[in-house]
Structure 1
Amino acid sequence: MIKYKISLITLSAILLFILYQALLPVEIIGVHKPGKTLAVVIVKNFPLTRVGKISWWKQHQRQLQEKHPFINSPENHIILFLQTEYKKDSGTDQDSDLLCFKDMPGDVNCVSKENRPLLIWHYPDGHTEYETENFFQRFLRHF
C-alpha cells in the first residue's frame, strides 16, 4: 500500500511539472548573429516536445523576423535555439564550451552551448530540417 502511494505521489508530481512547463510562455532572452550563416536565439521556457518546439517556431517565425530581419535571410542557413542564461567568460578551460557574442556590451555576454532544444537547417534548395533535443536526452547525457 505504501509503495502504491509513493508511486501515485511521484506520478502526480511529474504530471504537475509537465503541466506547469506547458503553461509557461516562451520568453526570448536575446537574438544574435555571430556568423554569416548562423542566428542564435536565447530562450527560456521552451516547449518540451518536438511537436511543441516546431509548432512554436512556425507560429512565431514572422514575429521574430520583423524584429530581427536576419533570422530568415537567404544567406542564413542555421537557426540555433539555446535555452540558457548569459554568463561571464572567466577564461578557464571550464568555459571553453561557451559561445560569446561581440554585439553585447559588458562581460556577461556568453552562453552555454549544451542545452539546444531546437536547431533549424535551411537548405538552398528550399527544404528545412529540424533537429530537436528533449529533456530526457539532456538528462541521460550526464550518465
Structure 2
Amino acid sequence: MKSKNKKLLCASLLIGCTLLGYLLWLSLRPVEIIAIHQRHNYSDILVKNFPLTERGKINYWLTNKKKIKDIYNTPKPAEDGFFTIIFWDFGDGYKETDGYDRLCFDDMKAVKNCIDKNSLMMVVYSKNTGLYFRMDSGKYYVKENGEIDKRKYE
C-alpha cells in the first residue's frame, strides 16, 4: 500500500473514531431540567441535553416520569386525568420577548421570561386517547399492554 493511501486511511479512521466518540458522549450526557412552568394541567419542562432520537426521548419519559412527579409534582392532571407536558430545548436560555414568536411564561416577572420555540416532545394523556407522545415524525400511542404504536401524520 502506498504511503499516501496509508495516511488517508489513518486520517479517515481518526475522523471516524472522533465522530463516534462525540456521538457516544452526546448520548451519555444526563438530561438537565432547567425549569418547569405550569398552567393548570399543562406543563412546560425546559431541558438541556435531551436525547437525540425519538426512541431515546420516549425512553427518557418512561424511565423518569415517577421521578419528575415526585420531585416537581408534574404533571398536574385535570379531574378527568387529562394532562399535557411539552419538553422544550432551553437553548441559549431566557430571552426578552420579540413580540412575535417566542414562548413567554407569565409566572415569571423578569424581563427575560421567554424562550425560542423548539419543542422536543409532547406527552399527552386523556381518557379517550390514552397516553401518547407527539414527535416531529408522528404520534406514538402506548397500548394497554405497554407496546408502542407509531402513527404518522396525514
Structure 1 vs Structure 2: percent identity of aligned residues?
A: 26
Is 1:84 the equivalent of 2:87? no
Maintained 8 Å contact 1:39/1:76: no
Structure 2 alignment gaps of length 5 or more: 138-154
- 4+ runs of 1 displaced by more than 6 Å? none
Distance 1:126 1:100 in 2: 29
Answer 1 or 2: which has greater strand percent. 2
AA in 2 matched with 1:46 = F
Which residue identity does 1:47 align to in structure 2?
P
For residue 44 of structure 1, the aligned residue among 48, 63, 69 is: 48
Matches within 5 A, 1:127-142: 127-133=130-136
| Larger CA deviation: 22-31 vs 96-105 | 96-105
Q: How many corresponding residue pairs?
A: 129
| Conservation of the 8 A alpha-carbon contact between 1:70 and 1:76 | no
* SS state at 2:33 partner: strand
Alpha-carbon spacing, 1:90–1:38, altered in 2? closer, same or farther (3 Å): closer
Bigger CA radius of gyration: 2
Write the distance in 2 (CA, Å) between the matches of 1:69 and 1:106: 23
Q: State the alpha-carbon separation in 2 of the partners of residues 25 and 129 from structure 1.
A: 23
Q: Distance in 2 between matches of 1:38 and 1:106?
A: 21
SS in 1 for 2:96: coil
What TM-score do you get using the length of structure 2 for normalisation? Answer: 0.70
Q: Partner amino acid for 1:84?
A: F
Confirm or deny that 1:20 pairs with 2:52: no
Shift of 1:98: 0.7
TM-score, length basis structure 1 = 0.75
Please give the alpha-carbon distance, in whole angstroms, between the structure 2 residues aligned to 1:76 and 1:18: 36
Unaligned runs of 5+ in 1: 135-143
Matched, 1:121 2:132: no
**How big is the shift at 1:22?**
1.5
Aligned residue number for residue 150 of structure 2: none
CA distance in 1 between counterparts of 2:29 and 2:74 reads 27
Give the root-mean-square deviation of aligned CA atoms. 2.4
- Between Structure 1 and Structure 2, which shows a larger proportion of helix residues? 1
Relative to 1, partners in 2 of residues 1:63 and 1:13: Cα closer, same or farther, differing over 3 Å?
same
